[in-house]
Amino acid sequence: MRAAKRKTEVRQEQIAQSALTLIARHGFHRLSIAALAREVGVVPSAIYRHYQGKEEVLDAVLELVSQRLLENVEAARRETANALERLHALLMRHVALVQNGVPIPRVVFSEEIFTGHRKRRQRVHQIFQQYLGRVAGMIQEGQRAGAIRSEFSPVTLSVMFLGLVQPSAILWLMSEGEFDFPQHVQNAWQVYCRMIQTKN
Amino acid sequence: MRAAKRKTEVRQEQIAQSALTLIARHGFHRLSIAALAREVGVVPSAIYRHYQGKEEVLDAVLELVSQRLLENVEAARRETANALERLHALLMRHVALVQNGVPIPRVVFSEEIFTGHRKRRQRVHQIFQQYLGRVAGMIQEGQRAGAIRSEFSPVTLSVMFLGLVQPSAILWLMSEGEFDFPQHVQNAWQVYCRMIQTKN
DNA sequence: CTATATTGTGAACGGTTATTCACAATACCA
DNA sequence: TGGTATTGTGAATAACCGTTCACAATATAG
């Protein structure tokens, strides 16, 4: 059966989304043009009507991931004005993102990143730094408002914030659901929160 | 030139070591039988005299990694009897391991793990759990000795301990050395330490 | 309605990879 | 020393992958 004709912008979006889905399901290195085309409902060579090649598709996927992450930050900001509550909200959203299969771990930890083309590694690094920057910003605001202890650097605290999710996410991915991911992040948050908040 | 004849146990060791080296240098997915054979100084088909296939080689690499990790734990235990100092020593050794190119991140975060054969994923999970178990043990000892606060679960604290290294390691790998890996782990340790130790 | 640009299709190509196999060299044992 | 098992070699194979291209169908503009 022949696939319907779509405008290239629409197809580009479809392709990037499908790529994200496939990576979430089977990982980065199993993303072949053939599988991607099948998911979109099109023939492999059709992909090349909308992207110059696989590299360009991967770049598009990265942009999608970046978008999701920053959307989360904005949503958390809107949710509450309190710094600690914002961090907590962001953490929960991050957990949901990982659980719903947005393959942040898979993309970020992927070998294609570390050993692939330099430009892409730099882009991921940039995405990371952007995200960390926003988190550090939240922390700094909390410090200025007197809700978070000022003796620790926001940068250090922001990287540690990432450390609340990452190991748990990996354990969860490996344990086939046995490891209680949200519960554990919750526990870690309790400890982290107790540590950084000012006493009263 | 013809390679010298070696006993199969010797070659197996050589092959596993070379595989580890290659993975540290270029990542998991670039480990081809051809490259591996070149590193060992032998012809590709010779690999099959000592391993049934690539899968078996990867299993051997995993065992090597497990070995290195547990050696680190033992070394840290020998180094001092104080719980907090032990954790700190282990942390420093872990940093050194990552920096020296023992590809713990690359192996552990690799897609071959998450999407590869089920048995291997389970093995990595087991290695993780073993390591975490030892760390939790150290923490529990510290709690019993009154050096570490008892209000937090050793399991939670052990996973958080991993969180001190992981995000930093990833940032370091991506930043092409720009990110000050040891310094940042040091900072995070200060925070972590202040949080878990009993006051006096 | 017709011409033209856009999008989809199927087949094919070159490159890489893991793996196999018949054969040759080497170590070991009786 | 001679025979046998072990290990190394080179060539060949089959599968997969990204990519290209000539051609067909479809939308759009004049």
CA distances from A20 to A15, A101, A107, A167, B197 (A): 9, 9, 9, 22, 43
Q: For the residues of B100-152, what is the DSSP string, one character each? A: TT--HHHHHS-HHHHHS-HHHHHHHHHHHHHHHHHHHHHHHHHHHTTSB-TTS
Most confident option among A32-36, A119-123, A194-198, B177-181 = A32-36
Contact A61, A107 (CB under 8 A): yes
Q: Give residue-wise pLDDT tens across range A64-113.
A: 999 999 999 999 999 999 999 999 999 999 999 999 877 777 777 777 77
Q: Give residue-wise pLDDT tens across range B118-169.
A: 888 899 999 999 999 999 999 999 999 999 999 999 999 999 999 999 999 9
Would you say the pTM of this structure is higher than 0.85? Answer: yes
Burial of B151 (0-12, 13-18, 19+ CB in 10 A): exposed
Between CA B160 and CA A85 the distance in angstroms is: 20
What is the structure's pLDDT at B7? 97
Q: Is the pLDDT reported for residue B191 higher than 80?
A: yes
C13 C1' to B107 CA distance, Å: 35
Are B160 and A27 in contact (CB < 8 Å)? no
**Phi, psi of B108, deg, nearest 5:** -75, -35
Q: Is the pLDDT reported for residue B116 higher than 80?
A: no
What is the structure's pLDDT at A145? 97
Contact B138, B161 (CB under 8 A): no
C21 C1' to A44 CA distance, Å: 36
Q: Which of A48-57, A99-108, A128-137, B15-24 has the lowest mean pLDDT?
A: A99-108
C7 C1' to A2 CA distance, Å: 11
Between CA B86 and CA B90 the distance in angstroms is: 6
What is the structure's pLDDT at B26? 85
Burial of A46 (0-12, 13-18, 19+ CB in 10 A): middle
Provide the 8-state DSSP code for A3. Answer: P
Provide the 8-state DSSP code for B180. Answer: -
Start-to-end Cα distance in chain B: 69
State how far residue B137 is from chain A, nearest Cα, in angstroms. Answer: 18
Between CA A93 and CA A87 the distance in angstroms is: 10
Q: Give residue-wise pLDDT tens across range B60-81.
A: 999 999 999 999 999 999 999 9
Express the helix, strand and coil content of chain A in percent, nearest 5 each. 80, 0, 20
Average pLDDT for A57-65: 94
What is the structure's pLDDT at A24? 86
Q: Which A positions 58-97 lie with beta carbon below 8 A of chain B?
A: none
Closest listed residue to residue A8, CA positions, set A38, A39, A48: A48
Contacts of A158 (CB under 8 A, 6+ apart): A132, A133, A135, A136, A139
For chain A, give the percent of residues with pLDDT over 90: 80
Out of B153, B160, B195, name the one closest to residue A163 (CB): B160
What is the structure's pLDDT at B199? 78
Burial of B92 (0-12, 13-18, 19+ CB in 10 A): middle
Chain B residue numbers with beta carbons less than 8 Å from the beta carbon of A109 are 105, 109-111, 170
What is the structure's pLDDT at B101? 76
Q: Map residue B82 onto helix, strand or coil.
A: coil
Between CA A188 and CA B7 the distance in angstroms is: 50
What is the structure's pLDDT at A200? 61
Q: Is A29 on the interface with B (CB under 8 A)?
A: yes
Contacts of A193 (CB under 8 A, 6+ apart): A84, A88
Q: Retrieve residue B159's tokens.
A: 């996973």
What is the structure's pLDDT at A118? 86
Between CA B100 and CA B103 the distance in angstroms is: 8
Q: Retrieve residue A182's tokens.
A: 């949200």
Average pLDDT for A105-134: 85
What is the structure's pLDDT at A28? 82
Average pLDDT for A9-24: 96
Which tops the pLDDT comparison, A15 or A102?
A15
If one counts every other C-beta atom within 10 angstroms of the C-beta of residue A52, the result is 10
Contact A111, B110 (CB under 8 A): yes
Mean pLDDT of chain B: 93
Strand partners, B55: none
What is the structure's pLDDT at B200? 61
Provide the 8-state DSSP code for B177. Answer: T
Q: What is the dihedral of CA B61, B21, B91, B178, to 10 degrees?
A: -140
